Structure 1
Amino acid sequence: MVMENKAVNVANKIMYHISRENNWNIGDVLIAGERENQFWSICKDYSPRVIVDGKEMSIFQMIDQVSNFEVTQNNITFLYQKLKDVSKEMAFYIREQIFEDVRSKHYPMLPSRQKCLWVCEEDQIAYWKTMKEDCQRSLRTLELNGELFCGDDHWLTADTFSSVDYTDRAKHYWNGEMSDAPRKEFLFYGKAIIKEIISIKALR
């Protein structure tokens, strides 16, 4: 069943985007919605490599060698950190696949998280710039012409591998439902013109 929630058409709307990409310049035009974004490209291609006893190997090769690991605090910490990293990335992947499946089946008129450009309003910059500490990132001021959907980041918590849980959360998200303390994020499709670029360091 297709739901009725729709994206909002915007014209010459000023919003903001945080990115590590450094090949953009003022006046550049970005087209969002035609191809996969960097987040999804990285997410779906995640296949970590680790160094064990000076040798690079896949996570699965490392697991096959666990019986050879000495039981030391360093090895326990190493294995725990790798398990934590892989679990987090796999939870992201499952979440994004389920959210896209729910969107395409029930909310096909809304922007896909796999192809959108994420933007925020001015009063949300302080929150979103803290999501990943990286001084190389920059804040882009954009002029938007296209379609905009507002969702609540509350529904995106990646703390389970359950497709049932993510399906339920996805319905709340794509319905545009806001929690008691919403963390708004905007998904954009259309043309964005870069009006200004500021280093994240300059915002501190």
Structure 2
Amino acid sequence: MEKVTNKKLYHIHRINKNRPLGINDTLETSSEYNSFFRDYDTKDIPQVFNVNGLLTYYWHFARETAVEEVRVSINNDLPSRKRCLWLTDVRSLDYWIGEVNFNPKEFQLLELEVTGAVFKCDASFIEGNPMKLNDVRERAIRYWSGEILDTKKVEYLFEGTAKVTRVLELSSAN
């Protein structure tokens, strides 16, 4: 984990769940859940889910809960996936744009200056198909150690204050 001041990183912001942001707007993490985890606490399960959608919904919750258990046991001071803002660097941006199926009607691509705690990690350790939770925990140990195997899947877990410095079009991101 690194404490940073005005470090430049990127965020793919869901405008279908949040208000659009502009230059100089700020995002702050807090002791409350981020929008991903807040949905599990506050929203009913969407009725449009088929069986596969329902299984995926609960698999993500089980996986994230196991990963968070490992974080707490290793180093409770690391940014929590339950509260963090997920960020990336310019080298991994193309991967994450593809991963979320970026659509400008649903997302904004933001360049941020961040001040706070940043943890650089490799999402490949915790992505993938459902598996035994013990396997998830073993992979989470590598994730929380900061080991990087796949440089295109680098993510930064951030807790602190982020200021929007640019709202990017896909062609201007790199």
User: Residue in 1 aligned with 2:46?
Assistant: 48
Which of 119, 132, 138 aligns to 2:87? It is 119
Counterpart CA distance in 1 for 2:156 and 2:73 is 20
Report if the CA contact (8 A) 1:98-1:167 is conserved.
yes
> 1:46 deviation in Å?
5.8
> 1:182 deviation in Å?
5.6
Counterpart CA distance in 1 for 2:142 and 2:152 is 12
TM-score (norm. length: structure 1): 0.74
| Structure 1 residues 18 and 176, CA gap change in structure 2 (3 angstroms) | same
Unaligned runs of 5+ in 1: 1-6, 51-58, 60-81
Give the alignment of 1:33-182 within 5 angstroms.
Answer: 33-44=30-41, 45=43, 47-50=45-48, 82-135=50-103, 136=105, 137-179=107-149
User: Residue in 2 aligned with 1:192?
Assistant: 162
Can you list the C-alpha shifts for 1:144-203, whole angstroms capped at 9, x where unaligned?
Answer: 111110111111124225221111111111111222566110001111111111245876
| Structure 1 residues 150 and 168, CA gap change in structure 2 (3 angstroms) | same
1:8 and 2:8 aligned: no
| Structure 1 residues 158 and 180, CA gap change in structure 2 (3 angstroms) | closer
Counterpart CA distance in 2 for 1:124 and 1:180 is 10
Unaligned runs of 5+ in 2: none
User: Residue in 2 aligned with 1:18?
Assistant: 12
Counterpart CA distance in 2 for 1:34 and 1:111 is 11
TM-score (norm. length: structure 2): 0.86
161-170 or 8-17, which moves further after superposition?
161-170
Counterpart CA distance in 2 for 1:183 and 1:29 is 25
Counterpart CA distance in 1 for 2:127 and 2:114 is 28
Q: Which amino acid aligns with 1:47?
A: I
Counterpart CA distance in 1 for 2:37 and 2:143 is 18
Structure index of larger Rg: 1
Counterpart CA distance in 2 for 1:165 and 1:48 is 29
Computed over aligned residues only, the root mean square deviation of the Cα atoms, in angstroms, reads 2.2
Counterpart CA distance in 1 for 2:5 and 2:44 is 36
- The total of aligned residue pairs comes to 168
Q: Residue 122 of structure 1: SS of its match in structure 2?
A: coil
| Structure 1 residues 85 and 142, CA gap change in structure 2 (3 angstroms) | same
Q: Residue 40 of structure 1: SS of its match in structure 2?
A: helix
Report if the CA contact (8 A) 1:17-1:141 is conserved.
yes
Report if the CA contact (8 A) 2:91-2:152 is conserved.
no
| Structure 1 residues 14 and 112, CA gap change in structure 2 (3 angstroms) | same
